[in-house]
Structure 1
Amino acid sequence: MPVTPWIARALVLAWSTALLTPLASAQAPQWTQYQADSSHAGYVPVTLDPLVLDLRFEKQPPTDRELGHPIAMDGVILAQRRRAPGLGLYAYDHISGELLWTEDFDAFGPSVISDPSWVPGAVMVEILKGSYTSEFRTFDTRLGVPYATGYGLHGFTSSGCKAPSVYKNRAYLASGRFDGVAAREIATGDLIWDYDSNEVENDWTPAVDDDYCYLYLEGKLHAYDRITGVVEYKVPDPDWTGGRHDYSTPRLGSLDNVIVGHSNRIMSWNRNTGVQNWAVSGDWRDPSAIAHGMVFARGYSGQVVALSELDGSFLWEWYPPNGDEIQWDILVTDSHFVCSSYTDTYMVDLGTRSLDWQYANGGKLCLAESNLVIAGTYGILSVFAYREVPEPATISPARMEYYVSTLPTVTITGEGFTEPGEIEVWFGDEKADQITVIDDQTLTCRPPDRGPGVVDVTVRNTHGYGTIADGFAYTPSQQLGGSFAIGEQVELGLQFEQGHGIAVLFDFGARRSQKIQFPPYIGDFWLESYQILFEVGSWPFGERLDLDFQIPMDPALIGQEVQVQSAIGPNPRGKQAAFSNLVSFQIQ
């Protein structure tokens, strides 16, 4: 069917270029301090399958009293008892549960120790000695050999402190009732800087990023230069009601924000300027975790509450069964959130909020070293092996010419590649070969030989699969997008070798019933007849071209099928080109 008239009067073309930029490679999850890392967001980028959680071991340190926040790293799970008797650290092998070492602080006279933190090779705690004097101590992770000790801080109060916040080989500590916060060199224990406050209470820790150390104290959000301790800002909370018990651990979100709580309020502040973004009040305690654009908090009625990270609006709430009440910080993954009462731990699907898993031990949580760790309220340490579903994130190179005789080796980065069992990589519906797993975050493979087009890349193991949508292009390739209704814009994305010429062809009606070939053109041709939609002799601006064109507002076109195929190569008019895949759409 002739189409030149409507194309001539109505086609509006605009193009843009974009080089394909790989994402940063994923990192193995670690849980090195309170709520995972120095952002205290409580988020671990893994996908869990609750059907294959296996109990590795359960241990009970020499106490039936509450355990502190656990950490997991270097093949070690570290549990802690904050108060005497049984005051100390207990290091277990993360697979066998063998007790590697203990550090008993009862004999040294302190009454309280902080939760532990970790840097490669060493763990650290702050311990209270005497009325208001504390020490900062570090130990070898696997051997328990003591390293540096720092002295001279005024101690924290009797409820203890959360773990020191660790960032780039420095520890940032909530240093007690009189000295508000301090920075110490981990290797030596030397004091770098500190801030004095007469209003600080216990059981909090600062948040730290590359620039600042953040505190919420004395009714103000504080930001100190991480290196020098110089004050960047102290911004008053306009709704602060006063009182000494105004500690709150800040959480760093994904929007350059700091999330803090006070009484039954949760607030978001701009991390760079200290300007308050929003503040909301409700039936909830301090924020507990931040992930997927949501702020997770425990409700005063025992529920888990989710607020929008963007504006604080209420999203949903989840109540544990049988009137149970969530007591401890919440852990969030890509598939579930995990929370605990005094007696039980619950794993809840993020999308459906269905209860997928429950275990009769409740306490403080961490997720690392392929383990879910529950440091129980009544002194029992439960460690479950989780089976990680692969999560591919990037692929390089992300395209190849489909007609080459030698297939390239591609590198895929992500997580969960070393789980037991066979691992497979699929390009669309065809399987790759020569798969080599380098480590948990890296594998290589050879793509299958197939025709032109863009395909999903899927990494699969016995527990599930993860996919990079439209992850790989056999070029020259085409993709359609946009809207196919009259008056709307259709998008055509092309990928090809930089510098090649492009001829985009189209036709109305059905495609050929059988493919044909026109040597020396490479590949299969599917159009019955064609018109030239777009042509350029050489495209020097990258490996991608995006075209937008508008369908006329003509009801007579509704129902028409449009076929599009391109010839792309060094000289399409001179028959030095390959045919792309065929794409089609029906005008609506």
Structure 2
Amino acid sequence: MKSIWFWLLSLSVALLVWWVSVGGRRETVAQETTPALRAASPMLTRRTNEFDGPPGDLSSIRTDLVATPSRLQVRCLLGGRPSAVLSVALPLSGSFLQARPTNGGLDEGPTITQIDDRHFRVEVRVAEGLAEGTHVGYVELKTCRDEACVDEIPRGTLYVPFEVIVEDPANIALGEWETFQRDAGHTGYVPATFHPRAFAYKWEWQRPTPVTTQGFIHAVSTAPGLVFVSDDGAGLLALRALRENDGGLVWEQTFPNYPALNPPAAANGKVYAATTGHQQTFLWAFHAGTGAPVFQNSFAAQWSDVMAPTIRDGRVYTNGGYYGGGVYAYSDTAGDLQWSMFSGDDEMTTPAVDQSRVYHYDGTALVTYDTATGLKLSSISDPYSPVQGYAHNGAPMLGRADSVTSFSGGTYSIFGSADLSSARPLINFSVANNAARWRTARAYMTQPATAKGIVYAGSNTPKSFDAIDEATGQVLWSWVPQPSDVRFHRNVVVTDNLVFVSTNRVVYALDLATRQPVWSYPAPGTLAISASGTLYIVEGASQSTGRLIAIALK
């Protein structure tokens, strides 16, 4: 019995000695390995247990920060350096925010503006000298308890993915005529070269209208293979999709008992249009190919007319307002109202939009808003004391960096599809300097266009079609038509080699090199050019005739 107890005691001691020795070896291995791993990958050690998604995807790191939008995409031409804005909400009030891009696609040192105790605005800008292609990375947002960021806040770092797409103009697809003056910047610029000898008549279409009804139509917008046209005036109003190749009807949506239907805009497989008139004021969206309704949402207006909505980066914007004017921003897919802001004139305009700002000329000032939140970012007074009515009849036009051109003051048109009742000077603003840069001595009648640092517009006092230096406002050259062309009307469209403008009787194409006409068509009107190279003329110098003419440019 003693031998058994002695054997058990010896076994217990042996096991204890083995456990201590193994435990010591495990501690030694851990102490040796951990510093090595940390030295090789400090991010891995710090972040391994903090990912909501796959380790290595920095955007999935668990964080209490919120940034809007959650991803950035910026498109620009070679040499362009546009900016984009993040709205950032911090988890703790009184914290400090740092921001930096993780690679060279964006400039170092983003501009950080504190809005209140927990909210910041971060503006990033495309880096200089980027090659054509796609440049990706993250914007690192870090919150700290001190300004030097020595004391980081746990779960206080957020990585926002960004994508900068740099395009060579020579390789860009032409793009459709989406809205008023083609794009969200309302430039009227079509990046293409056309040869007048190839121009040919395609077809024409007339609004089907009873004798007792005013048969006006608005300016058009386009999508691949389609052109969209909406009715103006009285009677049963309709929005129609016509085939681009022959003008045949694809679908139509009618709006019985609606006071006004406004011009269409088209993008991302949908066509948008607004109806206006007190309780019947809505923004509508339809499937571009079928005409099936997508959404309908209300906004405020009093018997007003508005221009085509502006579409950019997931939002669709429209002019509106019951007492005074302003801007409404909706989701371009579901139609949810995201924000609305109000200032100045209440009708006949549409905002311009870039990556970070919405631009609204309110009759006496250029006001800008944050695209994501609607936060008012700036207001630059028109220092020339223009006459403010209740209609602007124009839109801000975005040219080169920090250059916004607009009509100075408002004017009236009897119908939404009618031409302007009076001419006005053009005014150019610098948002960076919060100041007006110049104002033209002449008053202009046509909706201007801009490309490559030049603004093009037609004046009737004196009669002159002018090329204006966008930087200084000085006239670079002019063209005067024949005496039979009494007045300029409607809008200007510029391409890489031609500029199109309408007089009271003819649409002209001027060669930008010779500054002389190289083509004309004997019908005046409002102009648009589709991605396939079809020139559309909504006939009518002062008032629409209801006829749409299609000309093949290539």
TM-score by length of 1: 0.59
**Letter aligned with residue 138 of structure 1:** A
Contact 1:34–1:162 (CA<8 Å) still a contact in 2? Answer: yes
Name 1:355's counterpart in structure 2. Answer: 517
Task: Work out the CA distance in 2 between the residues paired with 1:325 and 1:206.
Answer: 28
Task: Work out the CA distance in 2 between the residues paired with 1:51 and 1:86.
Answer: 41
Aligned positions of 1:210-359 closer than 5 A: 210-245=355-390, 247=392, 248-263=394-409, 264-285=424-445, 288-301=448-461, 302-321=463-482, 322-359=484-521
Cα distance 1:52–1:270, how it changes in 2: closer, same or farther (>3 A)? same
Task: Work out the CA distance in 1 between the residues paired with 2:307 and 2:353.
Answer: 14
Establish whether residue 68 from structure 1 lines up as the match of residue 218 from structure 2. Answer: yes
Cα distance 1:146–1:19, how it changes in 2: closer, same or farther (>3 A)? closer
**Letter aligned with residue 88 of structure 1:** A
Task: Work out the CA distance in 1 between the residues paired with 2:391 and 2:477.
Answer: 27
Q: 1:295 offset after TM fit, Å?
A: 1.0
Contact 1:338–1:348 (CA<8 Å) still a contact in 2? Answer: yes
Name 1:138's counterpart in structure 2. Answer: 285
Q: 1:87 offset after TM fit, Å?
A: 2.2
Name 2:549's counterpart in structure 1. Answer: 382
Cα distance 1:304–1:245, how it changes in 2: closer, same or farther (>3 A)? farther
What secondary structure does 1:268 align onto? strand
1:186 to 308, 321, 332: 332
Task: Work out the CA distance in 2 between the residues paired with 1:57 and 1:120.
Answer: 26
Task: Work out the CA distance in 2 between the residues paired with 1:219 and 1:20.
Answer: 38
Contact 2:180–2:186 (CA<8 Å) still a contact in 1? Answer: yes
Establish whether residue 48 from structure 1 lines up as the match of residue 194 from structure 2. Answer: yes
Task: Work out the CA distance in 2 between the residues paired with 1:171 and 1:156.
Answer: 21
Contact 1:59–1:97 (CA<8 Å) still a contact in 2? Answer: yes
Q: 1:273 offset after TM fit, Å?
A: 4.2
Q: 1:239 offset after TM fit, Å?
A: 1.4
**Letter aligned with residue 44 of structure 1:** V
Q: 1:269 offset after TM fit, Å?
A: 1.2
Q: 1:156 offset after TM fit, Å?
A: 5.3
1:102 to 252, 271, 278: 252
Cα distance 1:242–1:379, how it changes in 2: closer, same or farther (>3 A)? closer
Contact 1:117–1:125 (CA<8 Å) still a contact in 2? Answer: yes
Name 2:259's counterpart in structure 1. Answer: 111
Cα distance 1:111–1:341, how it changes in 2: closer, same or farther (>3 A)? farther
Contact 1:182–1:194 (CA<8 Å) still a contact in 2? Answer: yes
Give per-residue Cα distances to partners, 1:25-70, cap 9 Å, x unaligned: 4322221111110000000011111111121211112147332111
2:314 to 155, 159, 169: 169
Contact 2:300–2:321 (CA<8 Å) still a contact in 1? Answer: yes
**Letter aligned with residue 479 of structure 2:** W
Cα distance 1:57–1:323, how it changes in 2: closer, same or farther (>3 A)? closer
Contact 2:445–2:489 (CA<8 Å) still a contact in 1? Answer: no
**Letter aligned with residue 24 of structure 1:** E
Cα distance 1:216–1:97, how it changes in 2: closer, same or farther (>3 A)? same
Name 2:268's counterpart in structure 1. Answer: 120
Name 1:87's counterpart in structure 2. Answer: 237
TM-score by length of 2: 0.62
Cα distance 1:98–1:341, how it changes in 2: closer, same or farther (>3 A)? same
**Letter aligned with residue 315 of structure 1:** L
More strand by share: 1
Contact 2:448–2:455 (CA<8 Å) still a contact in 1? Answer: yes
Contact 2:192–2:495 (CA<8 Å) still a contact in 1? Answer: yes
**Letter aligned with residue 516 of structure 2:** S
What secondary structure does 2:239 align onto? strand
Q: 1:286 offset after TM fit, Å?
A: 6.7
Establish whether residue 150 from structure 1 lines up as the match of residue 301 from structure 2. Answer: no
**Letter aligned with residue 472 of structure 2:** D
Higher relative contact order (CA 8 A, sep 6+): 1
Cα distance 1:156–1:250, how it changes in 2: closer, same or farther (>3 A)? farther
Contact 1:79–1:375 (CA<8 Å) still a contact in 2? Answer: no
Cα distance 1:365–1:86, how it changes in 2: closer, same or farther (>3 A)? farther
Give the stretch that moved more between structures: 239-248 or 219-228: 239-248
Name 1:196's counterpart in structure 2. Answer: 342
Cα distance 1:19–1:364, how it changes in 2: closer, same or farther (>3 A)? closer
Task: Work out the CA distance in 2 between the residues paired with 1:70 and 1:31.
Answer: 8
Task: Work out the CA distance in 2 between the residues paired with 1:204 and 1:100.
Answer: 29
Contact 2:347–2:391 (CA<8 Å) still a contact in 1? Answer: no
Cα distance 1:211–1:343, how it changes in 2: closer, same or farther (>3 A)? same
What secondary structure does 1:115 align onto? coil
Task: Work out the CA distance in 1 between the residues paired with 2:322 and 2:195.
Answer: 44
More helix by share: 2
Q: 1:349 offset after TM fit, Å?
A: 1.0
Q: 1:246 offset after TM fit, Å?
A: 6.0
Task: Work out the CA distance in 2 between the residues paired with 1:341 and 1:89.
Answer: 28
In structure 2, runs of 5+ residues without a counterpart are 1-127, 133-165, 410-423
Task: Work out the CA distance in 1 between the residues paired with 2:237 and 2:432.
Answer: 40
What secondary structure does 1:39 align onto? coil
Q: 1:261 offset after TM fit, Å?
A: 1.6
Name 2:100's counterpart in structure 1. Answer: none
What secondary structure does 2:197 align onto? helix
Give per-residue Cα distances to partners, 1:253-305, cap 9 Å, x unaligned: 11321111215322211234432222232142475111132111221345422
What secondary structure does 1:282 align onto? strand
Establish whether residue 24 from structure 1 lines up as the match of residue 167 from structure 2. Answer: yes
What secondary structure does 1:51 align onto? helix
Give per-residue Cα distances to partners, 1:349-396, cap 9 Å, x unaligned: 112122111112221111112211111121111111111xxxxxxxxx
Contact 2:215–2:232 (CA<8 Å) still a contact in 1? Answer: no
Provide the aligned length of Structure 1 versus Structure 2. 364
Contact 2:262–2:275 (CA<8 Å) still a contact in 1? Answer: yes
**Letter aligned with residue 265 of structure 2:** S
Task: Work out the CA distance in 1 between the residues paired with 2:227 and 2:235.
Answer: 21
Q: 1:207 offset after TM fit, Å?
A: 0.4
Task: Work out the CA distance in 1 between the residues paired with 2:404 and 2:546.
Answer: 33
Contact 1:287–1:295 (CA<8 Å) still a contact in 2? Answer: no
Give per-residue Cα distances to partners, 1:130-155, cap 9 Å, x unaligned: x365101011112111110101x212
Cα distance 1:132–1:218, how it changes in 2: closer, same or farther (>3 A)? farther
Give per-residue Cα distances to partners, 1:226-269, cap 9 Å, x unaligned: 11000001121221234324624100011321111215322211
**Letter aligned with residue 87 of structure 1:** L
Contact 1:74–1:141 (CA<8 Å) still a contact in 2? Answer: no
Contact 1:66–1:376 (CA<8 Å) still a contact in 2? Answer: no
Cα distance 1:314–1:246, how it changes in 2: closer, same or farther (>3 A)? farther
Contact 1:116–1:164 (CA<8 Å) still a contact in 2? Answer: yes
2:182 to 19, 31, 36: 36
Task: Work out the CA distance in 2 between the residues paired with 1:250 and 1:19.
Answer: 28
Cα distance 1:286–1:202, how it changes in 2: closer, same or farther (>3 A)? farther
Contact 2:259–2:303 (CA<8 Å) still a contact in 1? Answer: no
Cα distance 1:246–1:162, how it changes in 2: closer, same or farther (>3 A)? closer
Cα distance 1:66–1:353, how it changes in 2: closer, same or farther (>3 A)? farther
Cα distance 1:150–1:21, how it changes in 2: closer, same or farther (>3 A)? closer
